[in-house]
Chain A
Amino acid sequence: MTHGAAVLGMADVRKSFPSPAGRVEVLRGVDLEIRRGEFVMVTGPSGSGKTTLLNLAALLDFPTSGRLTFQGRELAGLAEDSLCDLRKRAIGVVFQRFCLLPRRTALENVLFRFRYVGGAEAETRRAALAALDTVGLAALADRPVRVLSAGEMQRVAIARAVALRPELLVADEPTGNLDAASTAAVMDCFRRLNVEGLTVLLVTHNEGLLRYATRHLVCVEGTLNP
């Protein structure tokens, strides 16, 4: 399978955090390039830096040093507002514990994707329903998310993440809280979206999911290895 232009690039990226015992280096010179249409899966033991890597990929954090690019654009020194603009439209994030708004329906949760983007009401509603349809939950659109199963909740979260057709979908342990059947349903969603052209970066402990990926990387002690 051939892939397009680079969506995300990291060159000698390092990330450290302050701690009572001094600075702790979590990422130690990571080099990574993810091209359009790829489905990259990162595995590794706990504390190896997977989530930190994901936060950088989702533009939720800045590296301490090194070069981070998104669609060829250097992100160092980018103003907060420009970064927020990229997060609004170009990145979709799926969290392990879904991060849904429990009092709202599935459709309202997906519509929340447009909270800081806006758009005409009919258009946003159409896009949100289409996203729910993509994950197979159009029939549950008006159901409050608190009554959905864990697998359905995660699929709502995926619908929210992809409702604006982002360039990159980043998922942190999306199946970590799911049983086998729900895991399969969620992973099928990811695969379908990837087949439709969406670039996916997914972090997991579950090596059984590797068959869904087009590329597998292992994170060990802050470094990324093929």
Chain B
Amino acid sequence: MNVRVAMRFWVRDLWEGIRSEPGRVGLSFLAVAIGFTALTLLLAVLDGLRARAQDLVRDLGANVIAVVAEPQGRDAAPVLSRRQADRLAGQLPECRCSALRRYDVRLPGDKRTSVTVLATDERLLPLRGWALEAGRNLDRRDVEEGARHIVASSALARRWGAGVGGLVSLEQVSFRIVGIMSVGGAGLEQEEGHSRLQAGELAVLVPYSAPIAWGDETPESAGRADAVFIQVPPGRAPEDLLPVARNLLEAAGVSWITPEVLLRGVRRWQQAVRLAGGSIALLCLVLGGTTLMSLMVANVRDRMNEIGLRRALGATPADVARLFTAEACLVTGLAALAGMLVAALLVEVVRRRFGVPLQLQGATLGWPVAAALVLGILFSHWPARLAARISPSEALRNE
């Protein structure tokens, strides 16, 4: 058959099929669209969790172990020290190690905003995978000489209105900006229980040996580190090195954080959402499909004349079955589109108003479309078969 003519016939048939019983079609559409909204929301939650997992791994570093000291009193002996980190670096020459001490200081002229000061060495920035946007990183000489040099986050540099080479003041001590970096942390920042790993938007790196005016050091706590990072060489999993590092560091009262530890929580959520949300979405889709099926059976009974006419004009049983299947697929396809649209709006609203990390990726939207086709074919199978099995003379008897 001429393709153009065939297409025209199909479009007309489907359009009239849908228009023949607008109430029934509307009800089926609504029932299926609710199912697809639920399915798309589930996918958005799973996409959000997947993105979150990627953020976490990217922020920490895919091959990084973080050793974080538990909070302790200011006079207590340090559970984690820079000396331990240096010793670890000597014993694990294939790894890159860096320690940091974290301070929160007030931004000059703004009592409500604090800046995260990370007292560290030149190895932290590349180890954490933070990008240098301008200037340079701290270097060995800065650290050895205790230079008043800082690498500022781009947000902070903007706030100060200063660039590379500019002089800025932190707690009345002047520092020169030698570099501007972009700090990661969208993932870790939101991770409860790992706040010591956070850098925040407004952060600076200073050499740990630089004179500071904001510390609360006592002789007992001098040399304390809040966290030590160990970067495992490519090709080795952080989890493999973990027992060795534990033995070497001999530190108590610390948390050992690896990408695997970070992902464990996200994976638990993924599993829970997949099970609970998946069941709800499946139930909604099955309910929608069942509604579609029952209404299609009623449609078949009401369209006996049309079926008889088609058979009298030479339609085969397969032609009749195809017509009803195509109508069902059209309804489920349109319902899927509507469901996706509603879900996308909800995702946007929830993300903007409540900050929930929902996300809908383009490729993910292929699933509802595929599910629409499967649903249409599956739930129209029986009505379509019913229509195909009606003999033409029986169908026309109603005429």
Contact = CB atoms under 8 A, between A and B. Distances in A.
Interface stretch (A35-43, A81-89, A191-199): A81-89
A155 interface: no
Interface range on chain A (Cβ under 8 Å from partner): 20 to 34
Contact of A119 (B5, B392, B396): B5
Nearest to B3: A118
Contacts of B396: 55, 60, 95, 99
A179 interface: no
B362 interface: no
A104 B17 CA distance: 13
Nearest to B319: A116
Interface string A90-128: 010101110101011000100011111111110010000
B314 A80 contact: no
B303 to A, nearest CB: 11
A118 B4 CA distance: 10
Nearest to A86: B314
Nearest to B394: A61
A112 B13 CA distance: 10
Given A115-B9, A116-B319, A88 B314 contact: yes
A129 to B, nearest CB: 15
B309 A121 contact: no
B313 A112 contact: yes
Most buried by B among A91, A95, A120: A95
B6 interface: yes
A150 to B, nearest CB: 15
Interface in A112-161: 112-121, 124
B312 A93 contact: yes
A60 B392 contact: yes
Given A55-B393, A61-B393, A87 B313 contact: yes
Nearest to B5: A121
A80 B319 CA distance: 12
B259 to A, nearest CB: 61
Interface in B303-342: 305-306, 308-317, 319
A13 interface: no
B4, B12, B314, B317 pick with most chain A CB within 10 angstroms: B314
B313 A103 contact: no
B75 interface: no
A120 B314 contact: no
A195 to B, nearest CB: 25
Contacts of A89: 314
A119 B1 contact: yes
B269 to A, nearest CB: 52
Interface string B1-34: 1101110110011001001000000000000000
Contact of A120 (B5, B16, B19, B315): B5
Contacts of B8: 121
Contacts of A91: 312
Nearest to A118: B1
A168 interface: no
B313 A116 contact: yes
Nearest to B305: A99
A116 B2 contact: no
B145 interface: no
Contacts of B5: 114, 118-121, 124
Nearest to A56: B393
Which among B9, B306, B319, B392 has the highest number of chain A CB atoms within 10 Å? B392
B294 interface: no
A88 B313 contact: yes
A58 interface: yes
Given A87-B311, A87-B314, A97 B1 contact: no
Residue among A52, A99, A124 with the highest chain B CB neighbour number at 10 A: A99
B316 A81 contact: yes
In the A-B complex, the 8 residue pairs with the closest CB atoms: A118-B1, A88-B314, A61-B393, A55-B393, A60-B392, A87-B314, A116-B314, A60-B393
6 contacts: A55-B393, A87-B312, A88-B314, A99-B305, A116-B313, A118-B2
Given A60-B392, A101-B16, A116-B313, 5 more contacts: A96-B399, A114-B5, A118-B6, A119-B1, A121-B5
Interface of A: 52, 55, 58, 60-61, 80-81, 84-85, 87-89, 91, 93, 95-97, 99, 101, 103-104, 108, 112-121, 124
